[in-house]
Structure 1
Amino acid sequence: MATPASTNGRRRRERGSISVDEIVRGAFEVADEVSIDNLSMPQLARHLDVGVTSIYWYFRRKDELLDAMTERVLLDYDFSVLSIEAGNWRESLRAHAHRMRKMFTNNPIVCDLILIRGTRGMPAARPALEKIEQPVAALVAAGLTAKQALDTYTAISVLVRSSAVLQRLQSRTADDQFPREYWEQVLDAEAMPLIASIPGRGYRIGMADDINFDHILDSILDRAASFATVQG
């Protein structure tokens, strides 16, 4: 039986001639162009030049394909916690926070799969907790209680994830919702002289940028340092 021709004039690949790895790699290529939300099985089939049934042979639903993509991300990207020393805990935590945020903000698909969609239990809770035992131990050695150390690390983790997600959602907006012209009309020097006197501050309200990220991160680290000082 002749293999049916594809819509672009080439002969479509036969069922079974494509592997799971090719499908997953192709899914990343399509998602890079149209996003995770807009990725569809028919679109992926056209990209791979196969019939859509060849995709469904391996992945019955889009969620199963996204699970496979998530597993690939967890294998390919380094989500480990940097080793933190008690005597250098603040700088180490700061570097770790910036590294993780950069990984998510520089890779929209990673952000969509891991943070927005969620890992659906991957990695498991125990391995995830095992990864943060070392930084918690370092903070305890620096003078914090176990609860204070865990709360500090958890707060930094929430900051990293929420900042990356908010920046990702803001990047999806086709047009700037709050252009400079908007703020020029809103910032009344007579009604709000202090805010209006600070260059650029009004333009960044609610923005998940580096300055806001560092301000919150420093606040968390300052609080942790106060725990260490009091108990020391």
Structure 2
Amino acid sequence: MPKRAAPAKRQRRERGSLNPEDIIQGAFELAEVVSIDGLSMPMLGRHLDVGVTSIYWYFRKKDDLLNAMTDRALSRYAFAAPFVEADHWRETLRNHARTMRETFLGNPILADLILIRSALSRDAARQGAQGIERAIATLVKAGFTVDAAFDLYSAINLHVRGSVVLQRLYDKNKEIEAGASAYYDDITIEPETTPLLAEAMAKGRRSGAPDDHNFEYGLDCILDHAGRLLDPGN
């Protein structure tokens, strides 16, 4: 595993000047270098130039700190994805999905905190539910039934998150093991035995890869199906 660059050394902190905001900000700075998985309380103490007991005074365990970081990340990126508009539900929902994916792919820490971790704080879970509620309400206003609106946004959400998580896990594996590859890169293509695969993949397609082409194709399928629900005769 390639050695990461050490975080920048801070100036020595005055006694009693530490506060939760400083700890959270320092944790984000450190995670940029060592990742969420590599972040530890002793390491954070050294980064902040304080004793680790000063951090435990505010955050009793790492999960408490990660919850606080998740809440901060959600508040920072809550409005990154544009709202869905009832009058233009298809175009705005597509833009919403694309922006969510781009935001997560562009910020690995955000992806790890919100998508990879198995638990969210109560505040984070509440924010997530409120965002979904707004999207479903807009789709109902556009003419979908509650069930159809729920299923549509759930499918979009799953499509975005699944694509991001698959890419993120691939990236994390490459960080751990130099030269690591994903299953979709290791498919053996032989024109004699798999001519159709060979034809498609010669054009740059990758089976099951979380790339732009596959993401857009899946998004089109979801939106096309949703359109037929509103206009069955089309």
User: How far apart, CA to CA, are the structure 2 residues paired with 1:154 and 1:220?
Assistant: 11
Counterparts of 1:1-232 in structure 2, within 5 Å, are 13=13, 15-79=15-79, 82-117=82-117, 118-125=119-126, 128-174=128-174, 175-178=179-182, 182-183=186-187, 186-200=188-202, 204-230=206-232
State the AA in 2 paired with 1:95.
N
**Local SS of the residue matching 1:190:** coil
- Say which SS state the counterpart of residue 36 (structure 2) adopts: coil
Q: In the alignment, residue 219 of structure 1 is paired with which amino acid? A: C
| CA distance 1:45–1:83, change in 2 (3 Å) | closer
Aligned in 2, Cα 1:17/1:105: closer, same or farther, shift over 3 Å? same
Contact 1:143–1:231 (Cα < 8 Å) also in 2: no
Separation in 1, partners of 2:181, 2:40:
29
Distance (Å, rounded) in 2 between the aligned partners of 1:191 and 1:72: 52
CA RMSD of aligned residues (A): 2.8
Aligned partner of residue 197 in structure 2, secondary structure:
helix
Runs of 5+ unmatched residues, structure 1:
1-9
TM-score (norm 1): 0.83
Give the percent of matched residue pairs that are identical in Structure 1 and Structure 2. 49
For structure 2, which runs of at least 5 residues remain unmatched after alignment?
A: 1-9
Residues matched between the structures, number: 221
| 8 Å Cα contact 1:180/1:203 also seen in 2 | no
| Equivalent position SS for 1:177 | coil
Pairwise CA distance, 1:55: 1.3
Could you tell which deviates more after superposition, 90-99 or 77-86? 77-86
What letter matches 2:36 in structure 1? Answer: I
Deviation at 1:144, TM superposition (A): 2.8
Q: 1:119 to 1:178 in 2, by over 3 A?
A: closer
The answer on whether the counterparts of 2:83 and 2:135 sit within 8 Å (CA) in structure 1 is: yes
